[in-house]
A and B are shown apart, each in its own frame.
Chain A
Amino acid sequence: MNFKKYFSVWRQTTILSLESKLSRRFSSLIFILGKFIRFGFYIFSLIVILGKTDKIAGFNITQMINFFLIFNLFDLVGQFFFRGIYWLKGKIVSGTFDLTLLKPASPLFQTLITDTDLLDFPLLFMVVVMLIKQNLNISLINLLLFLLLFLVAFSIITSIHILIASLGVITTEVDNTIWIYRDLTLLARVPVDIYMDSVRAFLTFVLPIAVVFTFPAKALMGLLSWSWIFYSLIFALLFFIFALKVWRFALTKYSSASS
């Protein structure tokens, strides 16, 4: 991998994406406003619900807000970097994916990363600021563990997007699959510890929503054991290798619509 070349491609496509958003300023503003309103509604609802209940699964209101903020952090990071996947179906159906394959850059890179969604940035920035304000007194070891699990989470999010892209290449079905993933992640707005055993097991071992959203938050608050940290590292590595293999297989099944 030539990182300098790919960084340069990413920077250029991000600048183009920004220019495109700026050419439609009013629409962009409405989208940003909608994202802030949705975030505000959710956090307000969570505070209202928690205000009317005792602790849920032993977590207090500050911890629950931390979980919610970290859910938003990873949700937004995924959308910020990987928005390109939402347009994959159109490319495959119209046959323009052929052009992606012909360019001298990884088709996977082009599919996932070449449409950075800068409309997510303002909310992402606010979430990071809120997280820092909420966690000013954390220890260095918790911070380092959080950063380590941030990388793990990012790797798993990338793998999930690779798998969705692979399914898209094979079946042309992307739109609903990405939304199924996003709907499932909604379960992680709160720590998965509150759910019944079967749901928790599913979200930890089958679809690693817990590893992506709950574990980093727990690490930040010093609530995650070392065994789960090792599990996360190994899972992320194996999952990433698996996703890449599926992607390579998917490319062999691609049939060009335009040829």
Chain B
Amino acid sequence: MFKLKKYLQISKMSWQTNFIYRLNFLMWRIRTVILLLSTYFFWYAVYRFNSQVGPYDEKMMLTYILLSSVLHSLVLASQSFQIAQDIATGKLNRRLVKPINYLKTMMALDFGDKASNLFFLFFELLLIFIILRPPFFIQTNPFYLFSFLAVSLLSLFIYFYLSLLVSLVTFWYPEDYGWPARFLFMVVNNFLSGALLPLDIFPSVIFHFLRLLPPAYFIFFPLQVYLGKINHVQVWQGVLVMVFWVFILKILSRFFWQKGLKNYNAVGI
């Protein structure tokens, strides 16, 4: 219980950090809204001239786009990139000597950040709904709603461990504070997660390949569940695949964390 309290306190700190540079935070929130609106307006315009794009009508597509912003804030927004900076700059030295688990600390920071993202996104989306009144599909089936929450939570862990692995590359390649690997990861993720458009719009050969990869479970798969586009068996299969990925990525990240620590130069000591 005491241990949990400790990490809860770290999550709170992550939340509070956002408000130190308020203008910076405000600009960040404006960015989030602009990014959402730029994708929303694009698809809204497409549906002004077309009633159907692939398997999506206007209502389903706009619901996908709006909810993908929620999952983006929940899953893809992460503080785990800091691990790479800690390794490259030697800040990790200070962190390792503290009587708290470093990786759990980063996870707690991550959760605090996600909580603040979700909190503010709620009000931003509310404003968008009041002003734009977009057509929105409300899922009423409890199975799909519950499954959506469960797979969103699982996707959060898959992303954390995958992002951690990317950060750990810095143990062996500390140049540019780990940004090259992070940049590549972000570029690939942005598309393969289905953040910009649903993956089932792509030709079927490409889609069937992409849906096997971990990024497909960050945004695309949870939204397939919410929209009820897959049956119960496919939902369970997806959950099993996600559990498999969490398990594998956790083992891999532990392995490379231990290996990396042996290779760590402890810059700054």
Contact = CB atoms under 8 A, between A and B. Distances in A.
A53 interface: yes
A176 B183 CA distance: 17
Interface stretch (A44-52, A132-140, A248-256): A44-52
A33 interface: yes
A53 B54 CA distance: 8
Interface string B212-236: 0000000000000000000000000
Contacts of B41: 187, 195-196, 199
A199 B173 CA distance: 45
Interface of A is mostly: helix
A245 interface: no
Interface string A190-213: 100011100100000000000000
Interface in A1-58: 24, 26-27, 30-31, 33-34, 37-38, 41, 45, 48-49, 52-57
Contact of B201 (A48, A173, A175): A48
Nearest to A193: B45
Contact of A30 (B27, B46, B181, B196): B181
A190 B42 contact: yes
A180 B184 contact: no
A196 B42 CA distance: 10
Given A30-B181, A187-B41, A53 B46 contact: yes
A120 to B, nearest CB: 13
B38 A183 contact: yes
B45 A56 contact: yes
Contact of A45 (B30, B50, B176, B197): B197
A45 B191 contact: yes
Interface residues of B, number: 36
Interface residues of A, number: 36
B197 to A, nearest CB: 6
A171 B187 CA distance: 30
Nearest to B43: A49
Interface string B169-211: 0000101100111011001101100001100011100000000
Contacts of B23: 171, 173
Contact of B191 (A41, A55, A175): A41
A118 B101 CA distance: 41
A195 B45 CA distance: 5
Contacts of B38: 183-184, 186-187
A26 B197 contact: no
Interface string B150-183: 0000000000000000000000010110011101
Contacts of A24: 175-176
A184 B49 contact: no
Interface in B1-58: 23-24, 27-28, 30-31, 34-35, 38, 41-42, 44-46, 48-50, 53-54
A31 to B, nearest CB: 6
Contact of B180 (A30, A177, A184, A195): A30
Contacts of B175: 24, 26-27
6 contacts: A37-B184, A37-B187, A45-B191, A48-B202, A49-B46, A176-B30
Given A26-B175, A48-B201, A56-B45, 14 more contacts: A26-B180, A34-B180, A37-B187, A38-B190, A49-B201, A173-B23, A175-B27, A176-B24, A180-B34, A183-B35, A186-B35, A187-B41, A194-B42, A199-B41
Interface of B: 23-24, 27-28, 30-31, 34-35, 38, 41-42, 44-46, 48-50, 53-54, 173, 175-176, 179-181, 183-184, 187-188, 190-191, 196-197, 201-203
3 closest cross-chain pairs (CB), A and B: A176-B27, A30-B180, A194-B45
